[in-house]
Amino acid sequence: MRFTSRLVCGFYLAGVLIAGTSTVATAAENSLTAEVKATSTYLWRGVALSADAALQASLVMSDPTGIHADLFTSNVVGGSETQISAGYRGNINQFKFDTGGRFYYLPQYESSNFIELYFGIGTDNFGGKISISPDSGNYLEGYLTLPAFEKWDLALTIGQYAVDEDDAGATIAYDDYLNYSAALVTDLDGFDFEIKISGNSLDDNEAMLPTDTFRTVVSLSKKFAP
């Protein structure tokens, strides 16, 4: 696991170097975007972090250089979760990239507080991302978005978590696992509506929170850009 982490760190730093030496197009002006979301279940990497419905809010600030700072909060089983992240995003030809770090804070689950680094690259329709952390393990994910019918899109995702078993906690499984999902997404008068079917390869005793093999999730969100 430690050798794998070093290898992934090397890949991450190489991505940063390539991004820094390439012709990069970034945002033209400062921006501030907020989002509120109501979801029947808060799913994080294929695992349910809320037993029932969750209310979530996020705030993204970015400047013309491509630097951004993000804040996300949600209720979870037994309390709340806050994510604080910062990074750098831009374009390399037709591809978009985003690289940075993220801190997860759950006051009720001290064992699940950790920091990770991430690097993602792709387009609006397909791409991948790797997240690495000495405190939880490595997570590799990919996505593909296709037009479905009329105004609906089909969003497919798959992820593999290589868990550091010494650091498993309330929201981090004890064993490696695969997760996957298929979602139909559309715009409803300015609101984003999504219905998703999600699954994972965990057994019930491999995480402290609910780990249903299959779960259907319905979400409604709204973005604001003052």
Look at strands 43-44 and 31-39 and give their pairing. unpaired
Look at strands 54-62 and 152-163 and give their pairing. unpaired
pLDDT digits (tens, 9 = 90+) for 50-67: 988 999 999 999 999 999
**Residue scoring higher pLDDT (59 or 175):** 59
Give the mean model confidence (pLDDT) for residues 143-165.
Answer: 93
pLDDT at 169 over 70: no
At residue 4, φ and ψ (nearest 5 deg) are -60, -40
Distances (CA, A) of 65 to 15, 23, 89, 92, 190: 17, 13, 9, 14, 29
Burial class from Cβ neighbours inside 10 Å (0-12, 13-18, 19+) for residue 162 reads middle
The percentage of the chain sitting over the pLDDT mark of 90, rounded to a whole number, equals 65
pLDDT digits (tens, 9 = 90+) for 97-120: 999 999 999 998 877 899 999 999
pLDDT at 140 over 80: yes
Q: What is the pLDDT of residue 115?
A: 95
pLDDT at 194 over 70: yes
- pTM for this model (two decimals): 0.83
Helix segments in the chain, DSSP class H: 2-21
Look at strands 31-39 and 137-149 and give their pairing. unpaired
Q: What is the pLDDT of residue 16?
A: 40
Domains recognised in the chain with CATH numbers = 2-224 (2.40.160.40)
pLDDT digits (tens, 9 = 90+) for 84-99: 999 999 999 999 999 9
Q: What is the pLDDT of residue 206?
A: 63
CA 93/CA 136 separation, integer angstroms: 33
Count Cβ neighbours within 10 Å for each residue of 182-197 and write b for 16 or more, e otherwise.
Answer: ebebeeeeeeeebebe
Give the pLDDT band of residue 221 (cuts 50, 70, 90): very high
Q: What is the pLDDT of residue 51?
A: 84
At residue 65, φ and ψ (nearest 5 deg) are -75, -15
pLDDT at 21 over 90: no
Q: What is the pLDDT of residue 199?
A: 93
